[in-house]
Structure 1
Amino acid sequence: MGFNDTALKMSSRLSVAVSTIGFNQTAFIALVPLIATATGLQTGEIGLTAGLGAVAFVASAPLCGMLGARIGARRALYWLGVVLLLAQLIFLALMVAGPLPYVPALGLLVVSRLVYGAASAGIMPIAQAWISGLLPQKERTVALARLSAGLSIGRILGSAAAVTASVMPLLPLMLLVASPLSLLLAPAANDTVGKAGPRSDSRAYLSPLDGRLLPFLGLGFLVTMSFGHVQMILGPLLQLHLAVGPAEATAAAGITLIVVALAMIATQILVIPRLRLDNRTCVILGTVLLAAGVLLVAVPLAYVNLCGLVMAGVGMAIATPNYLGWLTGRMEQGEQGAAAGWLASAHVLGQGAGAISGGYLFTVSAQAPLFVSAILAGMAALLAFSMKARDT
């Protein structure tokens, strides 16, 4: 087996390892009713702790990316896995302790989410930088797409695990707590590729204002803010289009998101390896599909909505690994983890901004968030078009 074959096999193992992040994202959200019952906390307070975890994620992602460059990717992933497990054990203790006084219950949940958010922020950037250091530019995007597919598979498994709560309430909780153990599957070979050399390590900090990085932060923010609008309003929009109640709309939104996730995984695994376009062209193609897809969601027909959402998801699946591969190709090896970390922070900020903007715009008009989403995707396409082709 050649060097590149080995690297691609490593990306498959890493995709399983990083699936814990996607698993936690959906499982924690789905378990909110169970958390409220076990802790006595209200939904708003649980949401606040999730928001604080997101803040910790944004602050920690570039720092964790730099950690991987300093101590080696595999070692960094293992240590972050230990911290994730600690955070989940704190969460488990809270859930099985029975109703606690308000302050201790809220405090334990805040600590758990802060620790989890800070540690989980580094998993994808470190894995992405590790793979980027192993592969040439043309093969890098395929491997990065596999990592993204692992994240998506984790999200689907998290939703599936939550369904078992009606049969055995403790089972999804135990799976959630144990999910960081997947990081033990991180490959043990080629760890030196994840470390910065003397030249690149001399640069202790990668500024988000670095000219090589800044356009990609803009791309990541615009793309995720665009899709964030759609995710936020999907349930209420389906309720209007289908003329159903909240429970039925919630179920329809859940099924729709699973279909979209499966389409994204299929794109990442089957389509991207067969694309013969450079990164820049793929980013433009993906963002155009995203814009067209969200406009189809505005049509008040259920099957057109589903087609539009699948198209938007496919666009996301094409664009994201391509601008990440494009970015890492610009950076020194020791800077790739920090660059991926800054991009992860931009993604979280974009998702949050899209959720806030989409929620408020929906109160004005059901179509307004979709039109704004399409405009943002169009802006991302124009930004990618304006960037130099030689950088791809």
Structure 2
Amino acid sequence: MTASGKSVWPLAFCAGLLGIGQNGLLVMLPQLVQMTGLTLSTWAGLLMSGSMLFLPASPWWGRVSEVKGCKFVVVASLSGYLASFALLALAVWLMAEKQLGIPAGVGVLILSRTIYGLTVSGMVPAAQTWAMQRSGTEKRMAALAVISSGLSCGRLLGPPLAAFALSLYPMAPLWLMAAGPLFALIFISRQYGDPPLEAVAHQAARWHSGLLPFLVLAALLALCISLMQIGLAPALRDYMAAPAAVSRHIAWLLSLAAIATLLAQFLIVRPQRLQIQPLLLSAAVLMSAGLGMMVAGNLPWLYAGIVVTSFGAAMATPAYQLLLNQKLSLGKGAGLIATSHTLGYGLSALLIPVISWRWGQTHLLAGAWIASAIFFIVACRLRTTASAESAR
């Protein structure tokens, strides 16, 4: 509950649906390939196309939330989520039953992912902004932690839920993902639509160059985490040869990362144990130290390193978002952060083949460590600038 007595947990549930959908689809990929006859690269392209539409759509939804309110955006995002997964499930089912040819099926799948990217891109920024509106100025960090924990829980629960549903029926995970937003819409329809907050004196209404460091931090964090996750398999192959063993260790590592993320959100961020600048600097130190452990150590150090890195990354996100919100209105700030995260993941997709070709896949973790080191430098620069401004 917030200081105003309005719960933000329904908003966290909505954000969690995004995590369930993202990781649940990854678990389903082999079955999707088998049922549709499309290649793995085709499915990867379809998933990426939906995610890349977050780039133009997230800032736009941020502006809409300031005009029409966050409830409007969350309802629109949930409706788009429902429509996109219903279309995806229908297309996959018809293709599996040979009732829909590959060209028409791919067309429906592209439509599904387009709807997803253009609508669901507003979900997390609007939920974060709505939660901060409800929390009041003093509890914004705690409100962000609740939304982030919902997203983390969704990413943690997505794979086991999808695996369990697959054991019942091949199409069951897709129907489950389509039904989830229906329940969320029922919850949200009963929520009071808080009016948009007026911009305060120190917040700008438009983009300006002073915002760039915070957006660079967001992009670097996404780049760092993406390279780390993709680099796990090559790193594990140094210690074991069996693909099944590698997959099992990756599952354990990602589960540990999700648990560490939740611990950071509940133990550090939500109780607001650190001020924003110390929180950001501590996060930068932990990320660099954790990735250094993963690069330099053995298998136990790989496990310890991903815990330290994930703990730090969970602290970093609310820190730079709150710093940005000191300079830009809430809705636009949340949209720009989401866009920067997408840019970071897109940059990772470009760098992975370059690093693999030039230095080998085993150096992907080293690339993540370099990104974390740049993150640390930018965080130190922001701390120095803030100290200089306060001394004036």
TM-score normalised over the length of structure 2: 0.89
CA distance in 2, matches of 1:366, 1:86: 38
Is 161-170 or 276-285 further displaced after alignment?
161-170
* Aligned counterpart, 1:91: 88
1:350 maps to 2:344: yes
* 8 A contact 1:221–1:350 mirrored in 2: yes
* Aligned counterpart, 2:5: 6
1:38 maps to 2:40: no
SS of aligned partner of 2:270: helix
CA distance in 2, matches of 1:52, 1:282: 34
* Aligned counterpart, 2:193: 191
CA distance in 2, matches of 1:182, 1:145: 23
Runs (5+) with no aligned partner, structure 2:
none
Change (3 A) 1:376 1:177: same
Change (3 A) 1:148 1:191: same
Number of residue-to-residue matches in the alignment? 379
* Aligned counterpart, 2:268: 271
* Aligned counterpart, 2:213: 215
Per-residue deviation, residues 196-234 of structure 1 (Å, max 9, x unmatched): 54999xx9x743xx2343221111011111121111111
Equivalent residue in structure 2 for 1:21, among 7, 10, 18: 18
* Aligned counterpart, 1:386: 381
CA distance in 2, matches of 1:373, 1:191: 41
Runs (5+) with no aligned partner, structure 1:
none
SS of aligned partner of 2:209: coil
Equivalent residue in structure 2 for 1:235, among 223, 233, 236: 233
* Aligned counterpart, 1:172: 173
* 8 A contact 1:298–1:367 mirrored in 2: no
Is 221-230 or 377-386 further displaced after alignment?
377-386
SS of aligned partner of 2:5: helix
CA distance in 1, matches of 2:130, 2:313: 23
Change (3 A) 1:323 1:198: closer
* 8 A contact 1:15–1:148 mirrored in 2: yes
CA distance in 2, matches of 1:187, 1:380: 40
CA distance in 2, matches of 1:103, 1:365: 36
* 8 A contact 1:132–1:325 mirrored in 2: no
CA distance in 2, matches of 1:261, 1:379: 24
Change (3 A) 1:214 1:136: farther
* 8 A contact 2:52–2:346 mirrored in 1: no
Equivalent residue in structure 2 for 1:361, among 352, 355, 362: 355
Change (3 A) 1:366 1:300: farther
TM-score normalised over the length of structure 1: 0.89
Amino acid in the other structure paired with 1:280: Q
Per-residue deviation, residues 285-315 of structure 1 (Å, max 9, x unmatched): 1011111111111235211100000100001
Equivalent residue in structure 1 for 2:293, among 264, 275, 296: 296
Per-residue deviation, residues 89-134 of structure 1 (Å, max 9, x unmatched): 1112112212332211111111111111111110011111112233
Amino acid in the other structure paired with 1:69: E
SS of aligned partner of 2:92: helix
Identical counterparts, % of pairs = 25
Question: 1:144 offset after TM fit, Å?
Answer: 0.3
How well do the aligned residues superpose, as a CA RMSD in angstroms? 2.4
SS of aligned partner of 2:285: helix
CA distance in 2, matches of 1:4, 1:64: 26
* 8 A contact 1:87–1:112 mirrored in 2: yes
